[in-house]
């Protein structure tokens, strides 16, 4: 801890004690004093893998021309139901509900040239370290809150998993359950068709003996953690939890409103939070739509509107569906991506990478929504007003869930702040 930070924390403790408002505050608690913590119970993070162009979606500017290499937006902007706030024309359904949405237009970081490093930054809130493996925000939420009901995981990833989404030093218990599509649920939990009930029972009895022997002969955290993971896997593979993946039980018209596979993932996310899952990441990098997903170099730019329209349809339906189930104020939707795109076009009409300013969208969660937060320059390249660092974004998410963004976790005996000294966006918390 730096001397300046120590003195600041000590001053907060002294001030709190002097006012008599509390008997005693730790440094972490003092840093959280004055934050209007929210009551969010669940998070659905929509991941736009590849780097979504903010200037073509939530932060439109003057029109450009790819053929003439004139910087600017690729699509015209439209008005929303929030005065003065415009979005891309392909976000027309979300445009009508921006009173429930805030496009945080001034997120920024210094990672621009490498997708994996930027993906790690936008999942963990930190750069890659050679001495510590940081947990993702999903794992932090799982660690702090646990599942909202018995018999369900805390954290689910719908899409391809990687280490950036993982628990880091928090260990396997803060890890995620994942599935690659919505057709059959998690393949690792599904019993093979040729294994009948009696054979499954024999297998579980044999496994129980092996687990008992392993713990007796090799006691220790690693064995015990593995044993707990096996126990959870057996529980989750049962019919009660697996029924959540039966999307055919939903009304046909609702499934149609959500759209294709990405929309079905969002529908499944709503079903998962109804069962008590805390944090769900829904991946939307459907390369078959435009050939590149959100990584719109070269020709990927040409059909970017297909991705934007699909996002618009699924996200607007998810907001309405959550509201109909009285879950919108309890659920924070986060539309995240690894970085943005510059206003200029490359030689084949696409866009490069940009970390100096890009948009992350927040919806629901009982926030004080304003349609758009922060201001960028005329080409959406530089932050002009209200910058939001990645730690600030994470602090806002944590605070909305009632988690102190200054709390310290521990990697062994080493204290690690849950955010990298992030400050929540107080204008959005209420």
Provide CB contacts within 8 A for 356, sequence distance 6+: 108, 112, 381, 382, 383
pLDDT number for residue 17? 45
pLDDT number for residue 4? 47
In order along its 430 residues, the chain shows pLDDT tens digits of 444 444 445 554 454 444 444 443 455 555 666 899 999 999 999 999 999 999 999 999 999 999 999 999 999 999 999 999 999 999 999 999 999 999 999 999 999 889 999 999 999 999 988 889 999 999 999 999 999 998 899 999 999 888 999 999 999 889 999 888 887 677 556 666 677 778 867 876 787 777 677 777 777 656 666 556 555 555 665 567 888 888 999 988 999 999 999 999 999 999 999 999 999 999 998 777 888 899 998 778 999 999 999 999 999 999 999 999 999 999 999 999 999 999 999 878 899 999 999 999 999 999 999 999 999 999 999 999 999 999 999 999 999 999 999 999 999 999 999 999 999 999 999 7
Q: Which long-range contacts (CB under 8 A, 24 or more apart) does 299-304 make?
A: 299/348, 299/349, 299/350, 300/350, 301/66, 301/74, 301/345, 301/349, 301/350, 301/351, 302/349, 304/53, 304/56, 304/74
Strand pairing class (414-417; 408-411): antiparallel
Question: Rounded to two decimals, what is the model's pTM?
Answer: 0.86
The domain spans of the chain are 38-190+237-403
Q: Are 118 and 84 in contact (CB under 8 A)?
A: no
pLDDT number for residue 228? 62
Q: Which CATH architecture has domain 38-190+237-403?
A: 3-Layer(aba) Sandwich (3.40)
């Amino acid at each position: 801890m730096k001397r300046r930070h120590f003195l600041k924390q000590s001053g907060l403790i002294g001030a709190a004690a002097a006012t008599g408002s509390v008997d005693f505050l730790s440094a972490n608690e003092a840093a959280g004093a004055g934050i209007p913590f929210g009551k969010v119970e669940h998070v659905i993070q929509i991941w736009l893998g590849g780097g979504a162009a903010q200037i073509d979606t939530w932060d439109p500017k003057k029109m450009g021309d790819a053929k003439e290499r004139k910087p600017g937006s690729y699509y015209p902007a439209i008005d929303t139901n929030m005065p003065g706030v415009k979005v891309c024309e392909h976000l027309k359904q979300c445009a009508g509900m921006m009173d429930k949405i805030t496009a945080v237009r001034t997120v920024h970081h210094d990672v621009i040239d490498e997708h994996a490093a930027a993906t790690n930054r936008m999942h963990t809130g930190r750069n890659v370290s050679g001495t510590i493996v940081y947990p993702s925000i999903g794992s932090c939420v799982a660690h702090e809150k646990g599942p909202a009901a018995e018999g369900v995981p805390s954290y689910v990833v719908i899409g391809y998993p990687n280490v950036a989404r993982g628990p880091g030093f928090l260990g396997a218990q803060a890890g995620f359950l994942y599935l690659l599509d919505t057709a059959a649920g998690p393949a690792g939990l599904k019993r093979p068709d040729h294994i009948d009930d009696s054979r499954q029972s024999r297998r579980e009895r044999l496994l129980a003996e092996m687990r008992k022997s392993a713990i007796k002969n090799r006691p220790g955290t690693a064995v015990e953690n593995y044993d707990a993971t096996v126990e959870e896997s057996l529980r989750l593979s049962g019919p009660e939890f697996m029924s959540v993946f039966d999307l055919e039980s939903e009304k046909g018209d609702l499934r149609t409103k959500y759209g294709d596979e990405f929309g079905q993932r969002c529908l499944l996310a709503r079903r998962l939070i109804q069962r008590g899952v805390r944090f769900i990441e829904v991946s939307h990098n459907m390369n078959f739509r435009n050939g590149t997903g959100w990584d719109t170099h070269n020709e990927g730019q040409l059909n970017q509107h297909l991705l934007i329209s699909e996002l618009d349809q699924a996200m607007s339906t998810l907001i309405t569906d959550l509201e109909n189930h009285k879950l919108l104020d309890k659920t924070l939707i986060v539309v995240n991506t690894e970085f943005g795109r510059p206003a200029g076009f490359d030689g084949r009409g696409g866009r490069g990478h940009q970390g100096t300013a890009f948009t992350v969208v927040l919806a629901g969660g009982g926030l004080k929504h304003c349609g758009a937060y922060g201001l960028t320059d005329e080409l959406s390249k530089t932050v002009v007003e209200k910058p939001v660092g990645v730690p600030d974004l994470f602090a806002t998410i944590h605070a909305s869930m009632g988690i102190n963004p200054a709390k310290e976790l521990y990697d062994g005996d080493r204290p690690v702040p849950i955010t990298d000294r992030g400050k929540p966006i107080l204008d959005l918390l209420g």
